[in-house]
Structure 1
Amino acid sequence: MEGPDRVILHCDCNAFYASVECLLHPAYRDVPMAVCGNPENRHGIILAKNERAKRFGVQTAETIWQARRKCPDLVLAPPHRDQYAIYSKRVNAIYQRYTDLVEPFGIDESWLDVTGSQRLFGSGPEIADRLRAEVKRETGLTISVGVSFNKIFAKLGSDYKKPDATTVISRENYRNIVYPLSVSALLYVGKSARETLQNMRIRTIGDLAHADRKALVASLGKIGGELYDYANGLDKSPVKSIYEPKEVKSVGNGLTFKRNLVGWDDIRLGVTVLADTVAARMRRSGVKCYTVQLNIRNPSFKTISRQKPLAVPTFLSKELARAAMEILADSWNPNAPIRMLTLTGTNLVPADEAPGEQLSLFEHSRQEERKKQEKLETTLDAIREKFGKDAVSICGVLQNDIGAD
């Protein structure tokens, strides 16, 4: 027999980047403003906007020119990611006063399991209201909080009413609140899944809850069954403890170039820089990857994603770059311009547990070469750690005009 329901909170900082910028620069509070990447470096995307900009219809992830068509007087602010990290830590420290079961989900939102905290601090909604008041008083930021019996519905609750609000989604009311929402509001329903569901005439979460589970699995695979469970309030995933080691599931890096990459020389340079940074991060995390994933975006923002499995797991930049170039050779016309590349190592294993190559007696020289390369790249890591990341540069990177440095 199952015990009483858990009490899960999802706390979401409202317009986080923009709110921090308004704290750092109070003049921004009185004008429509948005945080965006540097247009000169072609990172011209809206990252966050304040409430005044929101009234003009400015949306996150749209281009700057689209936003300025809606709001000609929009003030643009560059991001200060170091400050965002500081404020994120301050907010999460407040959450940790109430429970050690605090699981960040990005820089500006976290789940909390307060089931065992209620005798000390009151009911779930009471804790949510206390958190909203303390975060506002101590940081100047506002948060919206969803209170529910699982993580998925708690997140729907924090999205339901903003800013600075508490929404309770209970066993008794979830059908009235959740079922009318668009299916795209449900966590993990991306563009592809949404299109598949719409083709199945599933447009709301209620439609999804009443759909045939087997048909969903047939159309979407494993995620189809999970989405069905989420819509029906069956999510039982735990909130992780702050003391639980963070599992690294992938290591990657992306770069939007100052100009489009055209031709193999340009492409090879971009790939080499990305492979170098990703390999260094993997070594720092003590992992190797069995799969290399490459996302390629053209100037029209169309993106394709390809993967290549590796015979032997690696954290060597040369091997990551080789795999990425093989992906490009198989799937990309080198004369077609590339705006952005993202290289990611996935299917990770601990570096000290990774199996070596199964070589014949005549191929041991290749294994020795890999060991030498690992020693070389590890030495470069130590030099950069001591003297800075620019202490050692890749040949061809210096004074390039694509922004790969």
Structure 2
Amino acid sequence: MDRVILHCDCNSFYASVETVLNPRLSAGPMAVCGDPKSRHGIILAKNEAAKKYGVQTAETIWQAQRKCPGLKLVAPHRDAYAEYSRRVNAIYQRCTDQVEPFGIDESWLDVTGSQRLFGTGKEIADRLREEVRRETGLTISVGVSFNKIFAKLGSDYKKPDATTVISRENWRDMLFPLPVTAMLYVGEAVRRELSGLYISTIGQLAAADPAQLSARLGKHGRQLHDYANGLDDSPVRRADAPREIKSVGNGMTFRRDLSGERELRTGIAVLSDEVAGRLRRYGLCAATIQLQIKDTRLRVISRQRPLPRPTALASELSGAAMELARASWDMALPVRMLTVTACNLVEASLASEQLSLFDESDPAGRGRRLNLERTVDSLRGRFGRGIIAPGSVVNNELMGYSQEEEE
């Protein structure tokens, strides 16, 4: 029997919450932005009226105001967004305990086992739309399908405040004509690569040669081919479900391509610092380090090596990752993205016991460095990550968009 998966997406979430908090904002176009007083701030969200003027998320305020001179601007209220996200997800949990948040304003729900109590997937979706609107003042769009990828496509298919069913019977007719960028995980860079293969629609992606896609995009190409053909069996994870962490990684796409060993070292240092902090938070150490490098053609190399001893020290992770880079990468080539991943994880207490028995290489020095990094963790917990950063990244224009990964 097919699963029944919902993807629920709050419509214009930030802007909608601001309108609930201040109903006067509902009249005319409005947008939430980082700094309403700065023309160089960016748009974080916009309401439906602003969308009609072509206002786009992430464009500068002056660009948005040029399109829409009467645009109302408000500063974000992040605590309120978190509270409304919690309230909306609590409504979802009345129908199923399998609710997986995907960002602050979206969630997947597996309602396969809930249909005897609450009706079909569409009936559950319509019920949730009505209850969210009545209890919070927000609207949601819901996709109903037999996998997570298609459910997400469904919630995007018709907005705002709509339910779209993508079934075994209609999915090809509905989805194959859509642009390939409508599908999850197809951004602008991937679109350009697919365009080079004369692929512009989901149907063309589904019909493409998987080997050709893999040659162009690596394993991501084959995964996208599976998604386009409805082959996604990834589970909906409960938000509170315990997970055995097998690896901890962090990847970053930089604001411009990295060039040369010095810039590569800077990027690796930032990522290693974040990975090490999360290892310490989880009480884990890494026995293996993995480095992935993506070039400007989106080709990826992946290298890994065992570490001399299990560690949660940023300096040791960074040093090992840099050794991998020197051994496997031409420093003259530009780098678009880096990912540093800690693998073969062991409990920190066990690693400490092993080190005390077998490690004679300056244990006191390692202990001092570990205490120092734990102090940094504490300061960041109290005052935010920006309170202390690696010296190489202070005022550095390279830092871009970071993505945490755990498996």
- Measured against aligned partners, the alpha-carbon deviations of 1:124-144 in whole angstroms (never above 9, x if no partner) come to 100000000001111111000
1:317–1:228: structure 2 CA closer, same or farther, 3 Å change rule? Answer: closer
1:170–1:402: structure 2 CA closer, same or farther, 3 Å change rule? Answer: closer
1:347–1:150: structure 2 CA closer, same or farther, 3 Å change rule? Answer: same
In structure 2, the partner of 1:89 is 86
Tell me, yes or no, if structure 1 residue 217 matches structure 2 residue 211: no
Please, which of 29, 32, 40 is the counterpart of residue 29 of structure 2?
Answer: 32
1:49–1:269: structure 2 CA closer, same or farther, 3 Å change rule? Answer: same
CA contact (8 A) 2:98 2:110 kept: yes
In structure 1, the partner of 2:258 is none
CA contact (8 A) 2:33 2:44 kept: yes
Please, which of 358, 361, 366 is the counterpart of residue 365 of structure 1?
Answer: 361
1:269–1:229: structure 2 CA closer, same or farther, 3 Å change rule? Answer: closer
Q: Give the CA deviation at 1:247.
A: 6.4
Please, which of 365, 373, 377 is the counterpart of residue 373 of structure 2?
Answer: 377
Tell me, yes or no, if structure 1 residue 389 matches structure 2 residue 378: no
In structure 1, the partner of 2:167 is 170
Tell me, yes or no, if structure 1 residue 60 matches structure 2 residue 57: yes
Counterpart code for 2:366: R
SS of the counterpart of 1:27?
A: helix
SS of the counterpart of 2:383?
A: coil
SS of the counterpart of 2:142?
A: strand
Please, which of 101, 112, 115 is the counterpart of residue 115 of structure 1?
Answer: 112
In structure 2, the partner of 1:129 is 126
Q: Give the CA deviation at 1:394.
A: 5.5
1:268–1:345: structure 2 CA closer, same or farther, 3 Å change rule? Answer: closer
Q: Give the total of aligned pairs.
A: 375
In structure 2, the partner of 1:231 is 228
Q: Give the CA deviation at 1:108.
A: 0.8
In structure 2, the partner of 1:102 is 99
CA contact (8 A) 1:275 1:343 kept: no
SS of the counterpart of 2:66?
A: helix
Counterpart code for 1:225: R
TM-score, structure 1 length as denominator? 0.75
- Measured against aligned partners, the alpha-carbon deviations of 1:3-62 in whole angstroms (never above 9, x if no partner) come to x21111110010111111111222221131111223778982222101111110001122
TM-score, structure 2 length as denominator? 0.75
1:343–1:368: structure 2 CA closer, same or farther, 3 Å change rule? Answer: farther
Counterpart code for 2:51: K
Q: Give the CA deviation at 1:389.
A: 3.4
Counterpart code for 1:241: R
CA contact (8 A) 2:144 2:164 kept: yes
- Measured against aligned partners, the alpha-carbon deviations of 1:239-259 in whole angstroms (never above 9, x if no partner) come to 1134422566656699x99xx
Counterpart code for 1:175: R
1:11–1:101: structure 2 CA closer, same or farther, 3 Å change rule? Answer: same
- Measured against aligned partners, the alpha-carbon deviations of 1:303-326 in whole angstroms (never above 9, x if no partner) come to xx9999686364335556778999
In structure 1, the partner of 2:297 is none
Aligned-partner Cα distance in 2 for 1:43–1:310: 44
1:346–1:78: structure 2 CA closer, same or farther, 3 Å change rule? Answer: farther
Moved more, 29-38 or 105-114: 29-38
Q: 5 Å matches for 1:135-284?
A: 135-246=132-243, 250=248, 279-284=276-281
Q: Please provide the CA RMSD for this pair.
A: 4.5
CA contact (8 A) 2:6 2:111 kept: yes
Q: Give the CA deviation at 1:170.
A: 0.8
Aligned-partner Cα distance in 1 for 2:291–2:123: 47
Tell me, yes or no, if structure 1 residue 352 matches structure 2 residue 381: no
- Measured against aligned partners, the alpha-carbon deviations of 1:212-261 in whole angstroms (never above 9, x if no partner) come to 2222223222222221111111211111134422566656699x99xxxx
Aligned-partner Cα distance in 2 for 1:214–1:46: 40
Aligned-partner Cα distance in 2 for 1:17–1:286: 35
1:37–1:170: structure 2 CA closer, same or farther, 3 Å change rule? Answer: same
Aligned-partner Cα distance in 2 for 1:10–1:182: 20
Tell me, yes or no, if structure 1 residue 6 matches structure 2 residue 3: yes
Unaligned runs of 5+ in 1: 258-266, 296-304, 333-341
1:36–1:351: structure 2 CA closer, same or farther, 3 Å change rule? Answer: farther
Aligned-partner Cα distance in 1 for 2:118–2:134: 18
CA contact (8 A) 1:287 1:349 kept: no
- Measured against aligned partners, the alpha-carbon deviations of 1:264-315 in whole angstroms (never above 9, x if no partner) come to xxx99999999767644442233456357899xxxxxxxxx99996863643
Counterpart code for 1:215: Q
Aligned residues: percent identity?
Answer: 59
In structure 1, the partner of 2:261 is none
Aligned-partner Cα distance in 1 for 2:265–2:16: 40
Aligned-partner Cα distance in 2 for 1:204–1:58: 25
In structure 2, the partner of 1:302 is none
Counterpart code for 2:204: D
CA contact (8 A) 1:253 1:277 kept: no
- Measured against aligned partners, the alpha-carbon deviations of 1:345-369 in whole angstroms (never above 9, x if no partner) come to 534554526969x99xx98334442
Tell me, yes or no, if structure 1 residue 46 matches structure 2 residue 43: yes
Q: Give the CA deviation at 1:109.
A: 0.7
Moved more, 107-116 or 225-234: 225-234
1:208–1:292: structure 2 CA closer, same or farther, 3 Å change rule? Answer: closer
In structure 1, the partner of 2:260 is none
1:28–1:316: structure 2 CA closer, same or farther, 3 Å change rule? Answer: farther
